[in-house]
Amino acid sequence: MSNINNFQDEFFASDIHNATARKCRDLMSMLSDNPIYASNRRIILLGGDQGDQMVPLIGNLARLTGVGGVIFLPKEKASGLCDELAKMDLIPDQWDQYGGGEEAYLKSKQLLLDVPLPSDLTVVPLSVQSPSDFVKAVAEMSMDCGVTPLPGATMRGQGIDGVILAATDWTGAPVAASGSFLTFHPEHILSDQAFWGMLATREDRRGEKIALVLGAMAIVDMWENKGARGFFTGIRHDNDVSKAVCAKMGVLETEYCFVVGADPIHFGDTPMTK
């Protein structure tokens, strides 16, 4: 079996999340030519308001994979969409969308000059050469921080433009991570907008600004090497810590939000991510 096939079967999250990721992988192989869909291979989302088709499309995604949703949705439409999803017996959820463009890139470059990474750490980008045990360790560290990891192929940047950066200590163990990926179809108007975030730091290394530095590194890498010209992430309305971290990199609140609908038959009480 080829490495491609092996990596396509790497999943490190919970059984419930892995089942959704497998279904998304298979469904995206059929939807990949349609520019309305965006995916980081863990979830399939609509890229912006799709008018009258939005609710049924999200419902279909949820019934087929366990969850469906939309990004770059104007906030004033969120409440109505959540009500419609609830009427379909789906569990709606919402994140405020934060974003930044060139200012985020410039602030991140300056941050890397001003804030040093602790001297005992080494930054390692995940790739197809990364040992599976190491990729798994990064995923498990992220899960311990409440961040649901992406499938192994995505974490390695296989089949999608993006990067996961891990900071390792002298033992080679990951202590923090960040990531960013271009999730839109090349023909979509938002094709140069990169999903960014997944910041996680092992509990014993928090307070050292490691995730802040890794987040800035991911922004700079995506801008300079992957053609990203904007960055977006979802933050819970009451997560002031994440908002403050994002502000240091010029990733600020926008007029948009993320909304998803989860199938309770599939997910039960399990959240998608923090």
Least confident of 10-24, 116-130, 199-213, 257-271: 257-271
pLDDT tens-digit series, residues 50-105:
999 999 999 999 999 999 999 999 999 999 999 999 999 999 999 999 999 999 99
Q: Sorting pLDDT into bands at 50, 70 and 90, what band is 270?
A: low
pLDDT in tens, 136-176: 999 999 999 999 999 999 999 998 999 999 999 999 999 99
Q: For 165-221, how does the pLDDT look when each residue is reduced to its tens digit (9 = 90+)?
A: 999 999 999 999 999 999 999 999 999 999 999 999 999 999 999 999 999 999 999
Residue 3 clears pLDDT 60, i.e. is over it: no
Say if residue 194 is exposed, middle or buried (CB neighbours under 10 Å; 0-12, 13-18, 19+).
Answer: buried
Instruction: Judge whether 269 and 100 are in contact, CB under 8 Å.
Output: no
- Thinking of the domain 3-267, which architecture would CATH place it in? 3-Layer(aba) Sandwich (3.40)
> pLDDT value at position 8?
84
Residue ranges per structural domain of the chain: 3-267
More confident residue, 106 or 14: 106
pLDDT recorded at residue 182: 97
